[in-house]
Structure 1
Amino acid sequence: MNTKVKLIGGFVLVALLAAGAAGGAMWYLAKPAAGHAEVAEAKPAAAPATGKKARRYVTLDKVIVMLRHGPGEADTHYLSADLVIATTEENEKLAKSHLPLMRSIAVSTLSGFSMDKAQAMTVEQYAEQINKAFTASYEREQMEKPFSEVMVGKLIIE
């Protein structure tokens, strides 16, 4: 009996020492190295590599439309797309304020597709159609676009 108590006590002692060593190693590795924090704070913000303006991306999530029925088709099909709008840092706020207009243009463009046409198109073709619709709408309203292009971030057809 005395041997069993010593053996159990030894295992508990080894487990406590191992846990303490692991905790100490984690604490030592987690603290920042001396001098690195000051260097990181002193580093100036990197300017864009080219002379172009800094690009920003604004998302227009969950544009969901019901696709038109084909002849003799009774099933309902839906298209869901997440759009990414490329803009500049100066126009980012204006682009965000235009999101409801952009959603309306995207819905009217995408809802015109039938299921057959929607399945046959590539993501690039969707982006091209949406960009054409945005350009036409902004020209019709005589407004300047606060973005350079619209890209498709996610596309689901059911």
Structure 2
Amino acid sequence: MAMPRILLIVLILNTLILLGSTGLNYYLLTGGASSGALAARAPQAIAEALPATPEYQFFPIEKIIVNLRGNQNREHYFVLDLALQAPLGVDKPRIDQIEPIVRNSVVASLSALSFQELREMPISELQSRLESVLAADLAERKLPQPFASVLVSKLIVQ
């Protein structure tokens, strides 16, 4: 006799939970009391926060492979994908022209580090290091720097 009562109580509780969640979903989907005003203002607020036109463009430099020395005479390698952030108006041929210099600078700079040093380096520090090395290499070659910053878009450690 106790078992049918327990089943009846569980059935009633499940029904109440189902009805409550259905009512809550309906209330939230139809806009609720105050969320309708927020939902109406959200696209306008997003449009005001974004600039009218982008100020930068990005040029990818993919698959820069750096071999590193590790402990116990073991070789490691890093694969980097970079993106050069340049102001609007910089032509792609101008970036293509300096791509070999970018690749050379990155490989020369990072291959001097040990595996552990590079692995423990934060991405922000790696980006700033690459920016300064690239700026120095371009200045040494008396070439203008057509980009504003260097972004690491992919980093694979093996």
Report the TM-score, using the length of structure 1 for normalisation: 0.62
RMSD: 1.7
Q: Name whichever structure is richer in helix by fraction.
A: 2
- What amino acid sits opposite 2:58 in the alignment? Y
Gaps of 5+ in 1: 1-47
Tell me the distance in 1 between the aligned counterparts of 2:132 and 2:91: 21
Instruction: Report deviation, 1:68.
Output: 2.2
Aligned to 2:63: 62
Q: Partner residue of 2:117?
A: 117
Taking the aligned partners of 1:119 and 1:89, their CA distance within structure 2 comes to: 34
Superposed structure 1 runs of 4+ greater than 3 Å apart: none
Pairing 1:106–2:109 present? no
| Deviation by residue 1:82-107 (Cα, 9 ceiling, x = unmatched) | 00100123223211221121111111
Which residue in 1 is equivalent to 2:88?
89
Asked whether the equivalents of residues 105 and 134 of structure 1 are also in contact (C-alpha less than 8 Å), the reply is: yes
- CA drift of 1:49 comes to 2.7
For 1:153, the aligned partner's letter is S
Equivalent residues in 2 for 1:137-148, closer than 5 Å: 137-148=137-148
Tell me the number of residue pairs that the alignment of Structure 1 and Structure 2 aligns. Answer: 107
1:135 aligns with 135
- Answer whether contact 2:70 2:116 (CA < 8 A) is retained: no
**What amino acid is aligned across from residue 117 of structure 1 in structure 2?**
E
CA distance, structure 2, for counterparts of residue 108 and residue 74 of structure 1: 20
State the match for 2:40 in structure 1. none
Question: What residue number does 2:52 align with?
Answer: 49
